[in-house]
Amino acid sequence: MKNVTYEEYQATKEEIILGMIHTETTTLCECGCELIIKMYVTKENGIFYEIDDEGIIEFWTDKHQSSRYYRSGT
């Protein structure tokens, strides 16, 4: 998987949801860890998925299905 910058992470997210009507679903892991799963769904652009595991965000979209990692604070 590819590591990316904050700018690349933000650009990918904006490609899907910017200016679009979307729904956001957030799920917190019930196992006691810090895992947060988010899904942004648009009719026009598909879905942006992200999993935040204590500041390491793995994300992908329907348009770009390869997973990428963004490490917050870097």
pLDDT of 74 > 60? The answer is no
Instruction: Give whole-number Cα distances, 58 to 8, 20, 30, 42, 43, in Å.
Output: 12, 22, 19, 19, 22
Residue 72: pLDDT band (50, 70, 90) is confident
**φ, ψ dihedrals at 6, nearest 5°:** -60, -40
| Total domains in the fold of the chain | 1
pLDDT digit string (tens) for 20-29? 999 999 999 8
pLDDT tens-digit profile of 13-67? 999 999 999 999 999 988 778 899 999 999 999 999 999 998 899 999 999 999 9
Strand intervals (E) in 1-74: 2-3, 22-28, 35-42, 46-53, 56-61, 68-71
Range of the domain at 40: 2-71
8 token code pair: 């690349």
